[in-house]
Structure 1
C-alpha cells in the first residue's frame, strides 16, 4: 500500500470540505507559475491590452515563464497568489468537498450513481462555488495579467487594492464580472474533472488493475486533467479575456467570444492550451492525491483520538 490506507469510517462532509480546500491550496502553490503563464498567453492578442503586453510577445509555456522572469523578475510568476488561495479555500471546498454529498442527494442515498447524477452533482457544486468565489477569481486573473516593469504604473498595487479599485471604478458588479462564462466554464470543468476522475478510479478498482492507493489516484487525476483541458479550454480563454478586459471593451462574454473568432480565428480559443494542460494536469494530480491523503489522515487521527479516549 502506497500512502495512507483507507479509513474504516467514511469521511464526513466536513472533513471532505476542509480537505478539498487545503488540497487545492497546496496544488495552487506548486502550479501557480503555470497558471500565470496560461493567463498571459490567453490575453495576448487583445486589441486593448494594459501595459507592456502590447510589445512583449510570449511563445510557449516555458518561453512565457522565461520572459516573465527576465523582464519582471521571478516574483511576478506569483502575481495574484493571495487571491488564488482565497479562491481555492472558498471555491474548491464547495465544488469538490460537497460533490459526494450532492451526488448522494441526487441518487437519494444510493451508492452506485449513474452518469446523469454525477453530471448534475458536478454542475450544481460548480455553479454554487462560482457564485461565492467569483470576486477572488476576477482579482486573481487581473493581477496575473498585469506586468511589473520598472517605470510603468501598475493597474493594481496588491490584492486589497484590486478589490477596492474594481468596486470603486466598476461597482460591486465589477467583482462579479464574467460570472456567466465562469459558471459555464466551471460547470464543464467540474463535470469533466470530478466525473472523469470518479469513472477512471472506479474502473481501475472494479477491474482490479490497481488498488485504492496513491498510484491509482495519480493515474485517475492525470486522465481527468487531460479530458478537462480539452473540453474546457475554449470557455476558459473567453472567461480570462472577459474578466481581464476594461469597461466597455466587450458588451458581453458572447461578444468577447465573437470578437476572438472574427479577429483571431478559431485557434484563439485554444491559446495557452499547453500551459493549461500542464497546469490543470499537474494541479489535478497534486490536488486529488493530497485530497485523498488528507481525508485519510484526518479520519485516522479521529479514530486514534476516539480509541485513546
Structure 2
C-alpha cells in the first residue's frame, strides 16, 4: 500500500470520528448562525428547542451527507498535507539538513502545507456543507428536501453546478486560512513533545494526540469563526431574487449583516462551537494517528 493511500485511509477514519462526535454541536451552531437576532436566548435555549420540537434524532439531521462527505474531506486534507510535508522534507534534505531534522518543517512550510490541504478539501467541503446546512435548517413540518440526494437533485436541476457550489468563494477563504493555522498548531505541538522527550512521532501517546487536536481546533475557530458565519448565511440564502435571495455577494452579506445586526452576529453560535471543538478535533487527530500507525505496520 502506497503512503498516499495510507494517508487517505487514515484521514477518512479521522473524518468519520469527527462527524460522529461533532454533529449534534454543529446543528446548534448552524441554527444560531442562520437565525434572526433574538430567536434564541442562547446555546441551551436553541438545543432545548430542537430537542422539544424535533426530538433527539434531530441532532443528527443531515448526518449522511457529512458522514460521506466529511470523511472524504478529511481524507483529502490529510492526503494533501502529508504529501506536501514530504515534499518540504525532501527539499530540506537537498538543502543540506540532516535526515533526522529535515522532516521537522518550519512554521512557514507548515502554514503553506495546511493552506494547500484546506484548498484541496474545499472543493468537496463546500457542496457537502451546503447540502448539510440546507437539511439542518429546513422545517420538519414542510421539508423541501427528503434527504441529501433529493437536495442535490433538486438544486442541480434548477440552478446547475453553481447552485451546488453556492458560497464557494468564502469557503475557500475559510479553508485556506483556517487549515493553515490548524495544522501548524498541531504539528508544532507534536514537534515540541518530540524534542522535549526525545521520542519519535509514533511514540506520542493517544492522549497527547487528543489534547493537541483540541488545541488545534481552538486555533482554527479563533481565526475563522466570522468567516464561517458568513459562509452559513450565504449557503442558506435564496438562489435568486425571485426565491428570497438577500445577499448579492460575500461582501454584500458582510455589510448587510453588520448594518442590521451588528458585530455580535459574527460570533453568534460560538458557544456550541467551542464546546464541540475539542471533542471533534481531538477525535479527528486520534483517528488519523491511530489508523496511520496501524496501516504503517501492515
Once the 2 structures are TM-superposed, how far is the Cα of residue 216 of structure 1 from its aligned partner?
A: 1.5
Counterpart in 2 of 1:14? 5
Say yes or no: does 1:169 pair with 2:151.
no
- For 1:253, which of 247, 250, 253 is the aligned residue? 250
Partner secondary structure for residue 197 of structure 2: coil
Unaligned 5+ residue runs, structure 2?
A: 93-102, 240-244
Distance in 2 (CA, whole Å) between partners of 1:160 and 1:74 is 23
Give the TM-score of the pair, scaled to structure 1: 0.85
Pick from 208, 214, 225: which aligns with 2:217?
A: 225
User: C-alpha distance in 2, partners of 1:144/1:106?
Assistant: 40
Counterparts in 2 of 1:171 and 1:290: CA distance versus 1, 3 Å:
same
- Structure 1 unaligned blocks of 5 or more: 1-10, 47-55, 303-309
| Correspondence for 1:146 | 138
Shift in Å, 1:235: 0.4
1:254, distance to aligned residue in structure 2 (A): 1.4
Aligned: 1:103 with 2:89? no
**What is the aligned partner in structure 2 of residue 41 from structure 1?**
32
Count, aligned residues: 280
Aligned to 1:132: 124
TM superposition shift of 1:134: 2.5
Q: 1:31 aligns with which of 11, 22, 34?
A: 22
Once the two structures are superposed, residues 50-79 of structure 1 have per-residue CA deviations (whole angstroms, 9 ceiling, x without a partner) of xxxxxx933333332221010111121111
* 8 Å Cα contact 1:107-1:117 kept in structure 2: no
Q: Could you tell me which residue of structure 2 aligns to residue 94 of structure 1?
A: 76
Aligned positions of 1:1-309 closer than 5 A: 12-45=3-36, 57-110=39-92, 111-148=103-140, 152-208=141-197, 212-247=204-239, 248-300=245-297, 302=298
Distance in 2 (alpha carbons) for counterparts of 1:115 and 1:230 = 18
Residues 233 and 269 in structure 1, CA contact (< 8 A), matched pair in contact too: yes
CA-based RMSD: 2.0
More helix by share: 2
CA deviations on 1:247-292 (whole Å, 9 max, x unpaired) are 2321011111111111111121111111112222211111111111
Q: 1:192 to 1:137 in 2, by over 3 A?
A: same
User: Matched residues in 2 for 1:270 and 1:57: separation?
Assistant: 15
Q: Corresponding residue for 2:99?
A: none
State whether residues 18 and 280 of structure 2, in contact with CA within 8 Å, keep that contact through their aligned partners in structure 1: yes
Of the structure 1 ranges 222-231 and 36-45, higher mean CA displacement relative to structure 2 is found in 222-231
1:215 aligned counterpart, secondary structure: helix
**What is the CA distance between 1:97 and its match in structure 2?**
2.9
Cα separation, 2, equivalents of 1:63 and 1:293: 37
Q: CA deviation at 1:209?
A: 9.7
